[in-house]
Amino acid sequence: EVQLVESGGGLVQPGGSLRLSCAASGFTFSSYWMSWVRQAPGKGLEWMATIKQDGSEKYYVDSVKGRFTVSRDNAKNSLYVQMNSLRAEDTAVYYCARPIVVIAHGIYNWYFDLWGRGTLVTVSS
């Protein structure tokens, strides 16, 4: 079965750190770009980060640049995000998602054909 399973969420204090993981199965993980998308409680979806198949290119939304780092281990079929300097506004369900990458106007862009069930991160004192 093709699936993505996230783990690592929880309660963390403002300024703290957390590392999320995503385990992929049922497809050739190393052949795909991978992404994180988040959703604050009761709110809409926000693309957060994307990493190329070999990890050589990484893209982030401005609000997490310098604080979050996406990485992957193709040998373990796993995607990660290290989240530092967490803020209350980072409270959200974090989804691992598989992007379908296109090149539009000379830049990479993507939509998402596979999603995990998400893991909740709560930043609160």
Partner 1 sequence: EIVMTQSPATLSVSPGERATLYCRASQRIGSNLAWYQQKPGQPPRLLIYAASTRATGISAKFSGSGSGTQFTLTISGLQSEDFAVYYCQQYSTWPPGTFGQGTKVEIK
CA distance 20 to 32: 19
46 contacts partner 1 (rule: CB under 8 A): yes
CA distance 39 to 73: 25
50 contacts partner 1 (rule: CB under 8 A): yes
119 contacts partner 1 (rule: CB under 8 A): no
CA distance 103 to 125: 42
Binding to partner 1 in span 85-114, by CB under 8 A: 95, 99-100, 102, 104-105, 107-113
3-class secondary-structure state, position 65: coil
CA distance 93 to 102: 26
Which residues lie below 8 Å from residue 60, measured CB to CB, with a gap of 6+?
A: 48, 49, 68, 70
Contact mark string toward partner 1, 3..42, x via CB under 8 A? --------------------------------x-x-----
45 contacts partner 1 (rule: CB under 8 A): yes
How far, rounded to the nearest angstrom, does the alpha carbon of residue 8 sit from its chain's CA centroid?
A: 12
Binding to partner 1 in span 57-76, by CB under 8 A: 59, 61-62
Q: What residues make contact with partner 1 under the rule CB under 8 A?
A: 35, 37, 44-47, 50, 59, 61-62, 95, 99-100, 102, 104-105, 107-113, 115-118
